[in-house]
Amino acid sequence: MEKAAGFLSSLLGGGEEVPPEPAATVRSILIYPIKSCRGISVPQAPITSTGFRWDRQWVVVNSKGRAYTQRVGGFLGGGAPPRRFLLGTPGMDPLKIPLSAEQAIINDVSVWEWSGSAYDEGAEAAEWFSSYFGNPSRLVRFKEGSEIRPTNPDYAQGYKIMFTDCFPFLMASQGSLDALNEVLKEPVPMNRFRPNILVDGCHPYSEDLWKTIKINKLTFQGVKLCNRCKVPTINQENGILGTEPTETLLTFRSDEVLRPSHKNKRQVYFGQNLVCKESLSAKGKGRIIKVSDPPWIRQAAAATVKSIVVYPIKSCRGISVPQAAITSTGLRWDRPWLVMNSAGRAFTQRVEPKLALIEV
pLDDT single digits (tens) 202-218: 999 999 999 999 999 99
Same domain, 327 and 228: no
CA distance 267 to 278: 31
**What pLDDT is attached to residue 260?**
74
**What pLDDT is attached to residue 302?**
56
Q: Can you give the length of the chain in residues? A: 360
pLDDT category of residue 239 using cuts at 50, 70 and 90:
confident
Average pLDDT of the chain is: 87
Comparing 51-55, 95-99, 241-245, 310-314, the range with the smallest average pLDDT is 95-99
Partner residues linked to 310 by β-bridges: 319
- Domain endpoint, select from 251, 275, 297: 297
Same domain, 239 and 277: yes
Same domain, 222 and 330: no
The answer to whether 32 and 82 are in contact (CB under 8 A) is no
pLDDT tens digits, one per residue of 63-85:
998 898 864 444 444 444 444 57
Same domain, 92 and 231: yes
Q: What is the reported pTM?
A: 0.75
- Domain endpoint, select from 297, 324, 349: 297
pLDDT category of residue 101 using cuts at 50, 70 and 90:
low
**What pLDDT is attached to residue 200?**
98
Same domain, 138 and 48: yes
Domain residues for 309?
2-17+305-357
Same domain, 85 and 206: yes
pLDDT category of residue 246 using cuts at 50, 70 and 90:
very high
Same domain, 66 and 178: yes
Same domain, 243 and 311: no
Number of domains, the chain: 2
Single out the residue of 114, 46, 36 nearest to residue 81, CA to CA: 36
CA distance 89 to 87: 7
CA distance 97 to 60: 13
Same domain, 185 and 232: yes
pLDDT tens digits, one per residue of 291-345:
999 999 986 445 678 899 999 999 999 999 988 889 889 999 999 999 989 888 8
**pLDDT for residue 176 is more than 70:** yes
Single-letter code of the amino acid located at 168: P
Same domain, 11 and 156: no
**pLDDT for residue 10 is more than 50:** no
- Domain endpoint, select from 280, 297, 314: 297
**pLDDT for residue 270 is more than 70:** yes
Higher pLDDT, 117 or 281: 117
Per-residue H/E/C for the chain:
CHHHHHHHHHHHCCCCCCCCCECCEEEEEEECCECCCCCEEECEEEEECCEECCCCCEEEEECCCEECCCCCCCCCCCCCCCCCCEECCCCCCCEECCCCCCCEEEEEEEECCEEEEEEECCHHHHHHHHHHHCCCEEEEEECCCCCCEECCCCCCCCCEECCCCCCCEEEEEHHHHHHHHHHCCCCCCHHHCCCCEEEECCCCCHHHHCCEEEECCEEEEEEEEEEECCHHHECCCCCCECCCCHHHHHHHCEHHHHCCCCCCCCCEEEEEEEEECCCCCCCCCCCEEECCCCCEECCCCCCCCCCEEECCECCCCCEEECCCCEECCEECCCCCECCECCCCCECCCCCCHHHHHCCC
Single-letter code of the amino acid located at 106: I
Instruction: Kindly state the percentage of the chain with pLDDT values over 90.
Output: 63
Same domain, 200 and 318: no
Same domain, 310 and 227: no
**What pLDDT is attached to residue 284?**
64
